[in-house]
Structure 1
Amino acid sequence: MADLKLIGLCGSLRSASTNRLLMNEAARLFGDADFAEGNLRFPLYDGDMESDTGIPAEVQTLSDQIAHADAVVISTPEYNKGIPGVLKNALDWVSRTDGNPWKDKPVAIMSAAAGRAGGERAQNMLRLCLFTFQPHLLQGPEVLVAASSKQFDEDGRLTNEINLKALDDLMQKLRTAAEVNKG
């Protein structure tokens, strides 16, 4: 199915982020699809701002991208034993848009982190944050890329065979879920 739409969310804003590399590697392994990276550069959520000026255009764009995607990939680092504020802020803002773009949406999460656990606590926190939106959250295989600065080659390809196999398996499960969901 070449007409699948995949959106990726990277919990790190740095252009050289290993989570961006991981997200792009996931999109490559997902296979033929229209892939876009969602923009998470939003103002901090503020109920007064929402009341005064409404939902920012960039938030509505992300919400629409999620709603129209067949599947979502989220790659997040672990900051101080949790998800980065930029990712939590994006989830909070999108939750304020009309409807629920996440409902029944196949979602795969992964993480790349400097530490030896590879972002395990961030993934646990992200699952808790997503739970209320009722996505079809894939349960595994877990993709936890530890010591992430040493796990990619100069072309941005994942070099660790165990992580690569887990990511490929996860992306094939995500693709199957997206195809089933699309009908």
Structure 2
Amino acid sequence: MGEYTGRIEIARPPAEVFGFLADLRNMPRYLPTVTHVGPRGRHADHDDIAVEGRAQDHAYRDEGWLKAEPEQRRMRWGSHTQDGYQGSIVVTEAAGGAAVELRLGIDPKPEVAARLQRDHGSVENGMRLALARTLGAIKACCEDAEGVDNARDSDDLPDSRPFGSSATLNPDI
């Protein structure tokens, strides 16, 4: 399984950044393939969620789990349908506010790996760029409400669909 990590600093208080990320309604603001995220049920140690969106010109819907741990300012998630798919985000204090560390564990499907290889030179580079794009969108959302639209449309930032798809439990990865 591929393990991918990215980090960014955000000029906002850590509790505020974590609050933004822990609110499922905000996910479509920083993951451009996501159109809707909603709760599906609560368990003792996690919440089940459903994710809907559009990637590579087709709609998707999948279900997984999410566990928010406010005391640690950490969220962890995974898929009910993709063995081994998992991720986490941790918000810590940094000199100018907060630091966000994003971790993703996934083996992209062969067709996605081939596209990442073709478009970015390697799967690892494509995933690294996708993580950077997603973290940039989170930063834009937290620091400047108008910035998220600019982050999504910027030509100098890599396409986040590989990460956005996998992070949202897209069955095509």
TM-score band (shorter)? 0.3 to 0.5
Task: Name the one with the larger helix percent.
Answer: 1
